[in-house]
Structure 1
Amino acid sequence: MIKVSDLKVSQLFLFKEQSYTGRLNVVYKDHAVEFYELSDEQRNLFMEDVATVAKAIAKAFNPDKINYGAFSDTLSHLHMHIVPKYKDGYGFGSVFEMNPQKTYLSDAEYDAVIEKIKANL
Structure 2
Amino acid sequence: MVVIMKTKLEIIITQKMIDDYAEASKDYNPIHIDEEFAKKSIFKSRIAHGMLTLSIVMEFIYKNFNKEWYNNSTLETRFKNPVYPNEKLIIEYDLNKLPNNKIIVKCHKENGDEILTTILVL
Superposed pair shares fold, TM > 0.5: no
Q: TM-score w.r.t. structure 2 length?
A: 0.30
Q: TM-score w.r.t. structure 1 length?
A: 0.30
Instruction: Say which structure is richer in strand.
Output: 2
Larger Rg: 2
